[in-house]
Structure 1
Amino acid sequence: MMIASSLYAAGQYALRYLPALGDTSQRKAALLAALIGAVENNDVDAIEDLLGGASDVALIAEGIRESAHSPLHAAAAVGHVKALRAMLSTLPSDFVELPDESGRDLLVLATQHDQIDVLRELLPSPNMSYSAQIATLVSPTVSTIKNFLGYEVRATRVNTLDAEQNSLVSLAARYGYVEVVAFLIEKGADVHLKNRSGQDALMCAVHTGSLDTVQLLVEAGADVHSRDRRERSVLHYAAIRQEANMVRYLIDEHGIDVNASDWEKRTPLFYVRDRQVAELFIDNGADVDHPDEYRQTPLMFAAWTGNKPLEQYLREVGANPTRTNARGRSADDMARARDQIIPEKAMISLAPMLVVGQHPDLE
């Protein structure tokens, strides 16, 4: 709030003294400050006044291209649709693609901040012809017509990617924005696009724990058998999330293999920390003694991490406590070492000597 108030104060100050500024660089800075202040206050009249002169528009456009976080980005992030519309109707059409300091364009920012009205503005219905769109205007101007014509480009950008190659629908799924996910699907979002880690929208939704989003994506054709770069399935993501309902849905409704292993040959059971979730996997045929690449078993991980309820349950259902890993350590060895060392920090320091490789986790 402090930053927003300061920006608005600077904008109002600049508005008052703009006529006295003769230096071009000073005027450009003042115009940009004024525009930012007007956007922060959602003052559309002030925005239109600032963009009313051709020379000032050129200076503002130059300033926006040079800025790390422009008035357009500010409007998209907070959902000031009218302010955004007022700027886009006058500024160059490619400004919708300008990245901020983190490489996020207006579509990415709007998605990350759950600003569905901004997305509706930037991704209008591609089914309505331009003539029909223009006909809806009372008195179309040249700038307004250009704005509508620019929508063809924006409408095709529903599959735009952020700096980490996340699609808009994946970002919305990651944040659990069900309404945004539904809107993007309606606009033709590709639910199969993957980011640099090989995660698609469905994996993001499962990891977030939003069953509604997962079901929505599946209905839209998402691949329930997809794998990420580390060969992890959606069940691996559900296991680390500890969502029993999610696990039940994926197994019961889609028959996903509970013993499918990732690149270190670890099944979803390796990722489980909750007894109730473990029971779901075991009841559906999970191999309790499945060895990973280092001959480790889920029981060894439970013993290593000190998860006694899970360790006890795995022993009850027949997990072999005497099997040894690549270093010759058994689950019993790990349990004894854990019980002998009371300080938690000491247990953490000893853990790498007992277990081979990294403990399974999700980025």
Structure 2
Amino acid sequence: MTDHKINFTPEQITALFIDTARSGDTELLSQFLEAGMPVDCIDSRGYTPLIVATYNDNLEAAKLLLEKGANPDAADLKGATALSGVAFKGFDTIADLLIEHGASVDKPNHAGRTPLMFAVMFGREAMVTKLLKAGANPDHKDIEDVSARILAQRQGLEHLFS
């Protein structure tokens, strides 16, 4: 009987960990973390397990990662944070969780767009209200000199800012 040992590269292990966050398997996520996997490791696109878990609406995985010290403001290679993705998708409960754990409501991506801007762009009215109540700046401007307030006016959503 020959011993067939499988050797994974660090990149493959990171990819498996991030795929586990994407699928929301908290048991396997816990095993990775207990084995010493860095909670804020990144893949080739700069995605962290938290970014991937939240973008895929995996609340329990996001809770676990945050409890284990995940940075709620970690950004991918485009500068987008977990809250940006959640604002775009309209995942209100996960947005609450991120904000409770200190996520910046105004952290812009590399184009200067904030979570509030994404919420407005995709018509996520409840998210817009949530972010404004959490202190988001409706007048922050992106690299095109456009703010969330301006976007809202263009889309007929200015009532959200009154």
1:18 maps to what in 2?
Answer: none
Cα drift, residue 207 of structure 1: 0.8
Query: For 2:152 and 2:28, how far apart are their aligned partners in 1?
Result: 38
Cα drift, residue 249 of structure 1: 1.4
Cα drift, residue 176 of structure 1: 1.8
| More RCO (CA 8 Å, sep 6+) | 2
Cα drift, residue 188 of structure 1: 2.3
Counterpart pick for 2:92 among 228, 241, 244: 244
Q: Would you say the 8 A contact 1:169–1:185 is kept in 2?
A: no
User: 1:93/1:245 Cα in 2 relative to 1: closer, same or farther (>3 Å)?
Assistant: same
Query: For 1:207 and 1:160, how far apart are their aligned partners in 2?
Result: 24
Q: Would you say the 8 A contact 1:169–1:181 is kept in 2?
A: yes
Q: Deviations over 1:123-174 (max 9, x none)?
A: xxxxxxxxxxxxxxxxxxxxxxxxxxxxxxxxxx6x8423xx8432211001
Tell me if 1:209 matches 2:57.
Answer: yes
Q: Would you say the 8 A contact 1:197–1:228 is kept in 2?
A: yes
Structure 2: unaligned runs, 5 residues or longer: none
Whichever residue aligns with residue 238 of structure 1, its letter is: V
Q: Would you say the 8 A contact 1:288–1:297 is kept in 2?
A: yes
Cα drift, residue 297 of structure 1: 2.3
- Larger Cα-atom Rg: 1
Larger displacement relative to structure 2 (207-216 or 230-239): 230-239
Q: Deviations over 1:211-238 (max 9, x none)?
A: 1101111222222222221222221122
2:42 maps to what in 1?
Answer: 194
Counterpart pick for 2:130 among 261, 265, 280: 280
Structure 1: unaligned runs, 5 residues or longer: 1-89, 98-156, 319-363
1:263 maps to what in 2?
Answer: 110
Q: Deviations over 1:55-74 (max 9, x none)?
A: xxxxxxxxxxxxxxxxxxxx
Q: Deviations over 1:34-60 (max 9, x none)?
A: xxxxxxxxxxxxxxxxxxxxxxxxxxx
1:358 maps to what in 2?
Answer: none
Tell me if 1:180 matches 2:33.
Answer: no
User: 1:315/1:211 Cα in 2 relative to 1: closer, same or farther (>3 Å)?
Assistant: same
Tell me if 1:317 matches 2:138.
Answer: no
User: 1:185/1:166 Cα in 2 relative to 1: closer, same or farther (>3 Å)?
Assistant: closer
How many aligned positions are there? 159
Query: For 1:185 and 1:285, how far apart are their aligned partners in 2?
Result: 33
2:147 maps to what in 1?
Answer: 297
2:101 maps to what in 1?
Answer: 254
TM-score, normalised relative to structure 1: 0.40
Query: For 1:234 and 1:270, how far apart are their aligned partners in 2?
Result: 14
Query: For 2:69 and 2:18, how far apart are their aligned partners in 1?
Result: 14
TM-score, normalised relative to structure 2: 0.84
2:11 maps to what in 1?
Answer: 161
Query: For 1:303 and 1:180, how far apart are their aligned partners in 2?
Result: 45
Query: For 2:146 and 2:14, how far apart are their aligned partners in 1?
Result: 33
Aligned to 1:172, what secondary structure does the other structure show? helix
Cα drift, residue 282 of structure 1: 0.8
User: 1:240/1:203 Cα in 2 relative to 1: closer, same or farther (>3 Å)?
Assistant: same
